[in-house]
Structure 1
């Protein structure tokens, strides 16, 4: 798929836009003034594959906590700032790699300029983030309710403030919990500028409902070539956001990260407890970080053929099954040995790759 051409910017060591790999972001839900707890969560997120992390900075205590966080974080840190320009300046002094800040909401021109000059000096990008739930009153009156046009117009107000100060190290997001509204807003914005876009469905919901909305919304935009960074917003442990983000990217062939499980839906030919097998394979694959495609198929009739592109797989029979690699059957094994034999082949493949490097 052809990706939209955008400017390139840099968040810490992570390149954004300009053809760079789509970055996966998340946000800590710890209190930022508790640096130890926040760092522990960031490290878990980094281990899961998170590229960039955002931390809330609601007060000076949180800004103070950023000093230790930025010093020890394994991934770039973005400060989430609302209304108080002093918090932005304190976050910059603490060593953040970027800001999430709407310049029209932090006071007069002198305050905005102070933040812009500090960001310029350290070459820090600023993400302008417009949310359908907090549009200016005059735009709500103009359009009657949140619309794509209202979101884009709100974004341009903030963009123009920065552009008038000769600052263009900008990334943009236009989020809503409503998927069609989000799609329309990003499409409109993408047609009007070449700034990188951070894509997500805000307030998507729990792991169950939020995954569906995020996959549809983020996946649709990415399939259209729109999006340079993504965040899947889910209630609960943010590590789930990273896992789902990579599942979306892998489904579109945009990033490789960790295993990909291929599992058939079962049918009348299935004579094996495929659900149990697939869940156990999925559980054991969670310990593997290297990209590898693994198939768990319900029958030996079509299994190896339908999953011939998988690196390795198993196909169930009656009390037994087949182990195969790239569609080629290796051996027949008893049902209770299928998973162990499958992971024997997985270990062989990963070892072969290491040896060949």
Structure 2
């Protein structure tokens, strides 16, 4: 009887240890790849951001495109967070950040860059690599050219810093709006803000449309459809005309500071076609170059490939750069 009792106690304790161990294992990934959804005040605005990874690891700042938000990085963030501190904000007027009216906020790329700059300072980012895509390129390149000492590396995905690639049919009505900001010209651009146009951005040029989740355009479109948001987007369509005159300044930054750069570009993109990639080779010496057989939102179809390329690239470039900065004897 005593032996049976001892066996019962032993079994109970063994089961308890097994359950405890299983519970610990189930919660363990949260210490490295858990994505947190946060909001910080910047100049009176709520700026929403996604954050993951150890804060003492190299930081990667992810800057989204139109018409989406940090949501475009929802899969990339946990894929990198075991090794990097990953931060992805939403600009004002996008995603979960404040969306004041055009009367209450100046929707220009200069101002978006100012908000992102203040955001990085508010959350204590002093050194980072930048992933730029679409609208993220003029925002990120403004930030990099102003603070080259803060930038470890660049990752460029379908975002221009050269005139090549901006002369196709897609850009003609937008360029007309730059020249004549009339109501009639603006109304012609409202077709870019419809569900069909948003879906087209995600599906055009992809290898397999069934690989693209409809959650993408169904996430973005209700935000575009918020009252007053079309006026926000028209203001930014107009402000995009301020970017090409800055291309020479950004190119000078590339030549002078030579940031290590990874290009991962969807070559079938009709908005930022592959013609826009090759000029980077003129100015950047430390350049890794990849054209991917997909469309505008390359992460949707080739996210795993891009994550691997980023891990390998930053592992070489950022780690090497930080070793160079260590004092003698370390």
TM-score (norm 2): 0.28
Which of 1 and 2 has higher RCO (CA within 8 Å, sep 6+)?
2
Q: Which structure dedicates a bigger proportion of its chain to helix?
A: 2
TM-score (norm 1): 0.27
